[in-house]
Amino acid sequence: MKNIKKLGWRGLSFGVDIFLPNLLKNDVKREYDNLVCCDARYLPFREKGVDVVLMLEVLEHMNKDEAIKVLNYIEKVAKIG
């Protein structure tokens, strides 16, 4: 997120992790405007509620069916087209 902000991103950013200690690390707290502790399979964002979704090191921890459901949900959440 730090690098994205350097490129000029002006919107709010949300750091999401299921493991609370990861969110509470100082470097993470400084990188994001808001922190959300939740399971990526059940994200608490409304349809068309975010501009961009960036997921790193997430899908490989899910089985294929779960990953497909998450990707379908992200398509609904992101403001696409």
Q: What is the pLDDT of residues 32-41, one digit of tens each?
A: 999 999 998 9
Residues 34 and 9 in one domain: yes
SS3 state at 78: strand
What is the model's pLDDT at position 44? 92
Owning domain of residue 33: 1-38
What is the model's pLDDT at position 37? 95
Is the distance from CB of 47 to CB of 79 less than 8 angstroms?
A: no
Residues 34 and 2 in one domain: yes
What is the model's pLDDT at position 51? 87
Residues 33 and 50 in one domain: no
Is the distance from CB of 59 to CB of 41 less than 8 angstroms?
A: no
What is the model's pLDDT at position 45? 92
**Residues in the chain where the model's pLDDT stays below 50:** 81
| DSSP type of residue 16 | E
Residues 22 and 6 in one domain: yes
Residues 27 and 50 in one domain: no
Total domain count, the chain:
2
What is the model's pLDDT at position 79? 84
What is the model's pLDDT at position 5? 84
Question: Which residues, other chains included, contact 79 with Cβ-Cβ below 8 Å and sequence gap of 6+?
Answer: 48, 50, 51
